[in-house]
Every structure is written in structure tokens, then in C-alpha cells.
Amino acid sequence: MYGRVRRVTLDATGTTVTAQFLFDDLFRNFDIQMGPDGNLWVLHTDASDRGGDEIGRYVFAGESLPSANVLEVSNKSVGGSLTFGFRARNGQIVVPWISTTRLPAPVPTPFGDQLVPIDVVLPFLAVQADDRVYRGESLPNVTTLIGTPVHVQALAFDPATGTARASNVASITLH
């Protein structure tokens, strides 16, 4: 009857829950999906259960900055599109790059550890307002790309201090 939303931690294989935390306790959930903005969106009913459906959004703010996310926004990735989401501080400039490979070990740079070889540099993005920026990319309709991993990493540059820092790596496999 209740729609409990939990945050879980999985083991290294991704098959066993090692910890869980009750994140929210709604009356009844219908669906939870990751939206193109990188947040979780939930469709649920109000506590009266009389058809008062509501849409809620969970914004995760606990990640270290800068951070990179890959958000699939089309119903297929090959021949469709991907949206990359980045979080950095307001006023910073994000320079993302993508690759189909990931390095076996981090490469230390003056800006932080580089984990993705720089195959394609995407246009820079200026971070404003809510500390998030997005970059959509079309993918060719080439079936030989099915099963290909795509990795993204970014550098966040702060013009006020002249400092830069590398993000985490986000990945997706094309299907």
C-alpha cells in the first residue's frame, strides 16, 4: 500500500544490496524514472487515495563537484540521442570529452585524474543558476555501434580563481 522510496548500496557485482536507507515514504507510487535533467521523477497518489495524483522530483545534491552523468533521452541510443548532464558551481565553465574507451588506471594531471582518453572534445558549457548544464548529442544510426560503451568526463574551470578540476566518469552502453 505504501510507496517507500529507498536508496540502496549494491556490492561490486551489482547483484546484492549491502545497505539501504528509507529516502521517502509516499502513499502509493505508480512509477519512478530518471528524467533528462538527471533527477528522479515520481508519479504518486496523495494520501487520500482518491485520484489526487501528484508528480514529484528528487534532486540529488550530495555528489562531489564537478560531476558527469549520461542521460539517455531517446527510446533508442543508436540512431537516437544522448544527453550528458554536468554539475559544477555557478559561474564555472565545463569542458566535456567523450571516448569509447576507459583507461585502466587514472592518469594524474594538474587538473585531476583523467580516466577517459580525449577522443572527442564537446563544446564548452557555462554553468548557471542551479549548478547544472546539459549537452545533447545525436548518434548515427549505425548498427555496428550496438554494444559500444561511451564514457564521458569533464573539466570544470573556475574563471574567478583560475582553478580547474576533473569530474568523475559516467558511462553508458549503446543499444
Q: Which domains does the chain have, with CATH numbers?
A: 3-58 (no CATH), 67-173 (2.60.40)
Torsion, Cα of 70, 87, 167, 90 (10° steps): 150
58 vs 27, more confident: 58
User: CA 115 to CA 32: how far, in whole Å?
Assistant: 31
pLDDT of residue 155: 96
Cα atoms found within 13 Å of the Cα of residue 62, Cβ hemisphere only: 2
pLDDT of residue 123: 92
Beta strands in the chain, from DSSP E residues, in sequence order: 3-10, 17-26, 28-34, 40-45, 53-58, 67-72, 81-87, 93-99, 107-109, 112-114, 120-121, 125-126, 132-138, 149-158, 163-166, 170-173
Q: Average model confidence (pLDDT) for the chain?
A: 81
User: CA 69 to CA 75: how far, in whole Å?
Assistant: 18
The pLDDT tens digits for 65-95 are: 898 887 765 666 677 788 888 889 999 999 9
The pLDDT tens digits for 87-125 are: 899 999 999 999 999 999 999 999 999 999 999 999 999
Closest CA to 101 of 82, 116, 86: 116
pLDDT of residue 1: 44
Q: Decide: pTM greater than 0.75.
A: no
